[in-house]
Homo-oligomer: A and B are copies of this chain.
Amino acid sequence: MKCELVFVGTELLLGDILNTNAQYLSKRLAALGFDVLFQCVVGDNPERLKAVLEEGLERSDIIITTGGLGPTKDDLTKEVCAEVFSLPLEMHEESLCRIHDYFKEKNISMPKSNEKQALMPKGSVVFKNTNGTAPGCAMEKDGKRIIILPGPPREMCEMFENCVLPYLSRFSDHVIISHSVRTFGIGESMMAERAGDLLDMQNPTVAPYAKSGEALLRVTAKATTAQEAEKLIAPVVEEIKNRLGSFVYGVDCSGPEENIVALLKEKGLTLATAESCTGGLIGKRITDISGASSVFGCGIISYSNEVKKSVLGVKEELLEKYGAVSEAVAASMALGAVKCSGADLAVSVTGIAGPNSDGTDKPVGLVYIAVTDGSSFRIKKLLTGHSEKSCREYNRTVSASTALNEVRLFILESENNRKDINAFINSF
């Protein structure tokens, strides 16, 4: 079934808002097995909208629009769609009551202009708006369909999930299900190389994606039922895990922070952070996860050398001899964080986020990360290779992700491989 999306709103053409509806609807429709061939954005202009709709109906079976359902005279999506299908608008009493109730609940008298939102194309299937006043609907003519949805994402998404999905599912004779195997520390090309022949499979398909140092393989199957699709996917996910080993940190989790909070909980461990160049980003990401307080209690943002010394106990001579961005200082910071926090583990990050250098000949993008439990440790030197003007965000993001991954590897690695942190620091 061919489908296209039409987003109505001059604010989109002016760049005043980011079109998140486009990604949302595309993703959901792809999962339902619909082919989305075009997305189009038009302003609040009835002639241009009409032209786009007529053209779209020639090549596709279903058009879904968002936006232009408000109460003002600029909002004309419904009127134009009804005109294209030659359907008259009729008052939909149930919607009118709902709009009245909406204002009543808020203790506001309903403006007359909102009545127009309850006028619906004759014979259309009306979709209730649980987060606003404008109902949506599906209208049909000669086997072609237009579905109109409100523009605000909160209203659109809920209406899509509650009303449009059930409506659309009858047009889909199959489901598409995806699972993402998430990896860290392996480049996209090496990951693809190890996946090898799996990338040529047809059902499920296996596709690589990469972003800010992370790479994932998405396994997608098409089947008549969800159960069948899952059955096709499961052995492939297992095979990928075998081939990629400890590079894999999770399946379908939202990112390294979700993974590390779950892993710490599972092992009954607490973590502290000592951040220099990431400036609080690691703490922020850990505490993005609700319930992180059971595994994370303390972070030290030691952006200056004074705080590295006074709070984390890094020795002056290490800072002087090796500089703040060094193995010796990273290890000392992590050890200091374990000591001052009483946590089971600590991770430290010290590096040059850029765009400016730290005044030494060390390159922008050089970062040291240490993880310790107070006796043994793990250390990582990272060279992001990014030193251009806009590198700062990238370098900080990758440093924080790598730090979280190092914590994972420290927890999972064999204790036999570990070396003594005090001996290491004293060796400098």
Contact = CB atoms under 8 A, between A and B. Distances in A.
Interface of A: 12-20, 22-30, 36-43, 48, 52, 55, 106, 130-131, 154, 158, 209, 273, 275, 277-284, 286-288, 290-293, 296-304, 306-307, 310-311, 340-342, 353-356, 385, 388, 390, 392-393, 396
18 contacts: A13-B26, A13-B36, A13-B38, A14-B27, A15-B27, A16-B27, A18-B23, A40-B41, A279-B283, A280-B282, A280-B286, A281-B287, A283-B283, A284-B284, A288-B396, A290-B356, A293-B303, A299-B300
A41 B392 CA distance: 30
Given A13-B26, A18-B20, A23-B18, A297 B306 contact: yes
Contact of A39 (B25, B29, B41, B340): B41
Given A22-B41, A154-B390, A279-B299, 9 more contacts: A12-B26, A13-B39, A37-B42, A37-B48, A40-B40, A280-B281, A280-B283, A283-B284, A301-B301
B299 A301 contact: yes
Between A13, A38, A306, the greatest number of chain B beta carbons within 10 A of the residue's beta carbon is seen for A13
Contact of A19 (B23, B293, B340): B23
Contact of A41 (B38, B209, B293, B303): B38
A7 B286 CA distance: 35
A350 to B, nearest CB: 12
A364 to B, nearest CB: 11
Contacts of A280: 273, 275, 279-284, 286-287, 299, 301
A260 B288 CA distance: 24
Between A27, A30, A307, the greatest number of chain B beta carbons within 10 A of the residue's beta carbon is seen for A307
Given A48-B37, A279-B287, A393-B288, A304 B297 contact: yes
Contacts of A25: 15
A293 B277 CA distance: 10
Given A290-B356, A303-B296, A393-B288, A311 B283 contact: no
A128 to B, nearest CB: 14
Contacts of A15: 22-30
A34 to B, nearest CB: 11
A24 to B, nearest CB: 7
Contact of A30 (B14, B38, B288, B340): B14
Given A12-B26, A42-B38, A304 B293 contact: yes
B287 A297 contact: no
Nearest to A158: B390
A56 B66 CA distance: 22
Contacts of A12: 22-23, 26, 39
